[in-house]
Structure 1
């Protein structure tokens, strides 16, 4: 389950960055920004619930890739 949640968290963070890029570029209208923001918040809440349910922390999902460093950025508390 840890690997599955790690992959989902990686995808969540990638989607979040893509949304931020599109917002910065002005590619989205206000309704799209609102909808995407709500969806990302719900996904983050679901991830928090799942990690708690399985006794994991966000740091548990951050695989160490040796000389490449951690898989995920360490910006979440």
Structure 2
């Protein structure tokens, strides 16, 4: 805190942030879903590497594919339930680009 007579420094954050409970809850849900989606995409990429390396039996490849499809469906249901789109979960990291790049 600035001493009496000391000028306030530019860029200093306010002592209090006005945030309603609903927006805090929504932002927290968005962050959690973003992290889960990031982990899901990393698991999918790792699974594809294992499939391409030929180290899995045909039955394992089938099971893995089904599990990944179910996980993707569950994420879609969670996004719908909380009212988020895929784009809203893709955080912009500024100069680093989007957090969740999609293979096009």
TM-score (norm 2): 0.70
Unaligned runs of 5+ in 2: 1-28
Match of 2:86 among 50, 58, 72: 58
**CA RMSD across the alignment:** 1.1
TM-score (norm 1): 0.94
Unaligned runs of 5+ in 1: none
* 1:32, distance to aligned residue in structure 2 (A): 0.7
* 1:15, distance to aligned residue in structure 2 (A): 0.4
Q: Does 1:46 align with 2:74?
A: yes
User: Which structure's residues are more often helix, by fraction?
Assistant: 1
Partner of 1:33: 61
Partner of 1:8: 36
* Greater RCO (Cα-Cα under 8 Å, separation 6 or more): 1
* 1:72, distance to aligned residue in structure 2 (A): 0.3
Partner of 2:99: 71
